[in-house]
Structure 1
Amino acid sequence: MAAFGTVFMPQMIQARFSDNKWSESSIVPSDKLELHPGAHVLHYSSTCFEGLKAFRHEDGSVYIFRMDANIARMQQSSELLSLPSVDGEMLKTMIIDIVRQYADETPLPPGSMYIRPTHIGTEAAIGKAAAPSMSSLLYTLLSPVGDYFSGGATALRVLLEEDGMRCAPHMGMIKSGGNYASALGPISAARTKHQADQILFCPGGDVQETGAANFILIDGNEIITKALDSTFLHGVTRNSILTIAKDLGMTVSERNFSVTELLERAAKPGTEAALSGTAAVLTPVGTFIHNDKEYQVGNGEAGPTTARLRQALNDIQWGKTADTHGWLTKI
């Protein structure tokens, strides 16, 4: 099977912003972009994106999960990067139009159609290091996918990093390419030195997020996760999991917590840890690596509460249980 996110539908949908207005959207081939070599995005990283999914239900119908939340975050990212304002209704229509075109290509569960809206600054102006791009391109790619982690529900090995950060603190809540690029070096080093799957960034001992996913700790009937602030991404899947946990009668504690507390709780029988994200869904963590020592989380395997929460989320996405929160949009 092809690696996650490497297969694309042959067409995408796009709209351009120039002269203070958006063009009509158009469906174009997805195998190329035409950009001036001086485009703002190539020099000053004026780029943000989203990741969401469409799911095929047993009756053949296709639904997009939490599109409104992703559009709102795209608008926020664009604003914080000083990109042209994204028209939410326009983007919603664009997403629905391109997903509808490839509805028949949307995989059955456990697969899905990954949706990647992207917004980039296109003004050819290499003198604008301290000024925003006045033109931009908004486009949406589609990629049929399976599991993000090739091992499926196999528990991950995660390195706890107290010295570095995933990205600059004021950039954390922006879904921008530069944030992922800044985490690549440490993650690659952790894979080589510790055979770690990911890094959990804990600057100064404050447990935050990994390079590409939010983090939750499950201690009995309580979920503990960092409270929202500007230093890390406000994950839509994170929010969905916490909402489902409350529905199931769990206690959700959104607060700061330290590496010391994390390791103390992780050592207790029955404790679980997991990464949440659109791609990762909810993936268990079985081992923490800290100061060259390994710490087993609970029994080191995927735990029952993680599996229950993941299944509850999947059941909503796949149409197997009621969508009581209005998260699904039928196309």
Structure 2
Amino acid sequence: MIIEKIAESRFNDSVFESKVFGKNFTDHMLVATYKDGQWSEPKIMPYGPLEFTPAAMAFHYGQAIFEGMKAYKNENDEVFIFRPEKNFERFNLSAERLNMPTIPEEIFMDGIKTIVDLDRQWVPKNYGTSLYIRPTMFATEEAVSARASNEYMFVVLLAYAPNYYDKPLSVKIADYFSRSAQGGVGFAKCAGNYAASFYPATQAQKEGYDQVIWTDSIEHKYIEEAGTMNVMVRIGDKLLTAPTSERILNGVTRDSILTLAKDAGLDVEVRPISVQEMYDAHKEGQLKEVFGCGTAVVINAYNAVGFGEERAEIELLSETESFASILKNKLKDIQYGLIEDPYGWRIKIEESVTA
């Protein structure tokens, strides 16, 4: 791996005062290119603009994928990343679905560990904050031709991550727009999935909601995801979430939350959840919690759900009563190295002479 360090770091402590997610980038980025059927040696270099032709195929045919990960620092200045092997596996699943080359494990895993080590001063200590890690790959071949590209670029960016949301959100259940369809790319983290979600979200915001709960694309009877997150529903004392599929992203946070919930003895069911079931539970006073989970937010509670024209308010439970709060705190304590990690999820970034 080639390492070209920045001449003078741009870091200062004021970065950690920012409330903006994904805008304060660190000193370095990692870049590797794919051409003639093989990957170049990865290079870590100072963060900055890259030059592209307007005919780069990603702009025209949408071959672009990414992942989301985080690095954490404890009071002893130890830095950790969380379950990176799951992101590596999903990244390559996304690549295969979009007919892109897979990335070798040594480029992805070793590259992330090296760049996080190099920019470890950018990892904050404050509980709830972190350093966001964004691996991405996109088509770069210069051609306006409707086919898979022959050239690609893999890039890893790092950016300071404050608390993503600091308030409960309200969500509107989608009854017309769809996020994904069977046989499509809903399980992949590709750019087009997110681009297509922005308009429905904006329409929901005009109705006074923050986000959308997506439903199945055929009948809009079953809930699938919430905004850019997996969604979980508590009816009574039962925690429910939809099974992953070709339409639903297999979230790393979702998987972790399910493991923690089962080990805590909670009643957990992974099965289809109908909109009608949620609505009936609300009418009966049994819809106790609805929350989204994902890397950026960890867990975010919803205080209202829109069923058609009806807005169902959900009273937020105390931290000791809320499954969302209990599970979020347990997961964060593992991520920040505050408690034992019996699952082997937490990976320590060893400090080297490179940094």
Question: What's the TM-score once normalised by structure 2's chain length?
Answer: 0.88
Contact 2:92 2:102 in 1 (8 A): yes
Shift of 1:29: 3.0
Structure 1 residues 300, 221: CA separation in 2 closer, same or farther (over 3 Å shift)?
closer
CA-to-aligned-CA distance 1:209-247 (integer Å, 9 cap, x gap): 022111001234321111111011111111110011011
Aligned residue number for residue 144 of structure 2: 126
Which of the residues 206, 211, 214 maps onto 1:198? 211
Which runs of 5 or more residues in structure 1 are unaligned?
A: none
Name the residue aligned to 1:231: 247
Q: Secondary structure at the match of 1:252?
A: strand
CA–CA distance in 2 between the matches of 1:263 and 1:59?
48
| Aligned twin of 1:173 | 187
- 2:77 is paired with a residue whose SS is coil
Runs of 4 or more consecutive aligned structure 1 residues displaced over 3 Å after TM superposition: 300-303
CA apart distance, 1:168: 4.2
Q: Distance in 2 between matches of 1:319 and 1:220?
A: 32
Structure 1 counterpart of 2:46: 29
- Comparing 241-250 and 301-310, the one that deviates more: 301-310
User: What is the alpha-carbon distance in structure 2 between the residues aligned to residue 316 and residue 222 of structure 1?
Assistant: 24
**Counterpart residue type for residue 163 of structure 1:** Y
Aligned positions, number: 324
What is the DSSP-based 3-state SS (H/G/I as helix, E as strand, rest coil) of the residue aligned with 2:157? strand
Report how far residue 270 of structure 1 moved. Answer: 6.8
TM-score scaled to structure 1, two decimals?
Answer: 0.94
Match of 1:148 in 2: 164
What is the SS of the residue equivalent to 2:177? coil
Residue 135 of structure 2 is matched in structure 1 by 117
User: Which residue number corresponds to residue 121 of structure 2?
Assistant: 104
Superposed CA deviations along residues 119-155 of structure 1, whole A, max 9, x for unmatched, are 111111211x1x2111110010001111111xx1x32
Pick from 276, 283, 287 the counterpart of residue 260 of structure 1. 276
Give the deviation of 1:68 after TM superposition.
Answer: 0.5
Decide which of 61, 72, 80 is 1:63's aligned counterpart.
80
- CA deviations 1:297-329 (Å, max 9, x no partner) are 3x2457622100100100100111111111111
Whether the aligned pair in 2 keeps the contact of 1:49 and 1:117 (CA below 8 Å) is yes
> Equivalent residue for 2:306?
289
Cα root mean square deviation, aligned: 1.4
Structure 2 gap segments, 5+ residues each: 1-17, 350-355
Cα-to-partner distance string for 1:23-63 (whole Å, 9 max, x where unaligned): 11111232212222111111001000000101001211000
Indicate the residue corresponding to 2:347 in structure 1.
329
Tell me how far apart the structure 1 counterparts of residues 47 and 205 of structure 2 sit (CA, whole Å). 32
Within the candidate set 187, 198, 202, 2:201 is matched to 187
Aligned partners of 2:292 and 2:300 also within 8 Å: yes
